[in-house]
């Protein structure tokens, strides 16, 4: 049974606010995704703490791909392929071009997919938000709130990686004293 339109619209407003805060800030919880990426260079973004750990760059592609998947879930159909090869569910292949230009393009890709997701949420019907996709126990609306939580988790991870992987001098705005 579908909930009232009023409740669904309240959910939509909550989803949009949570995704806005976790992605672009300002967030009461700490830095947003974009705030943590500010000042991160291609060199730092491509480095890893160890061969088995993800780089900041891989996390950026992971966040972009996650948005692509949720846009498809909202629509209830597969859309155009994600513009980067995917190595496993939710994880695109690591970039081979680690130039500053490639880094800026992948940051723009994340921003593009965030904008597409927000637009898709605004256009979604109540039925699309309330739908439970195959092989899931959660509505698309619940998964969208999960994306905001996912962003917050990875923003913290990116923040710590940027501090650890930066050369002797941390990028502007990233110091131990600015950690929440």
Q: Give 113-157 pLDDT, tens digit per residue.
A: 999 999 999 999 999 999 998 888 999 999 999 999 999 999 999
Level-2 CATH architecture, domain 5-178? Up-down Bundle (1.20)
Compute the C-alpha angle 56/107/154, nearest 5°.
40
Give residues with Cβ within 8 angstroms of 180, minimum separation 6. 29, 30, 31
Using DSSP, state whether 87 is helix, strand or coil: strand
Q: Are 37 and 107 in contact (CB under 8 A)?
A: yes
pLDDT tens digits, 16-73: 999 999 999 988 888 999 999 999 999 999 999 888 999 999 999 999 999 999 999 9
């Amino acid at each position: 049974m579908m909930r009232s339109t009023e409740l669904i619209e309240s959910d939509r407003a909550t989803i949009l606010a949570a995704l806005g805060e976790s992605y672009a800030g300002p967030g009461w919880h700490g830095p947003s995704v974009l705030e943590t990426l500010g000042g991160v260079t291609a060199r730092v973004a491509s480095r890893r703490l160890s061969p088995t750990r993800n780089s900041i760059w891989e996390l950026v592609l992971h966040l972009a791909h996650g948005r692509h998947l949720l846009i498809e879930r909202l629509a209830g159909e597969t859309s155009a392929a994600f513009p980067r090869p995917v190595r496993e569910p939710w994880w695109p292949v690591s970039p081979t071009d680690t130039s500053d230009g490639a880094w800026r393009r992948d940051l723009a890709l994340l921003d593009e997919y965030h904008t597409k997701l927000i637009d898709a949420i605004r256009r979604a019907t109540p039925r699309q938000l309330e739908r439970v996709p195959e092989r899931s126990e959660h509505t698309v609306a619940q998964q969208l709130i999960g994306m905001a939580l996912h962003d917050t988790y990875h923003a913290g991870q990116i923040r710590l990686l940027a501090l650890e992987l930066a050369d002797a001098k941390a990028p502007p705005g990233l110091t131990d004293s600015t950690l929440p």
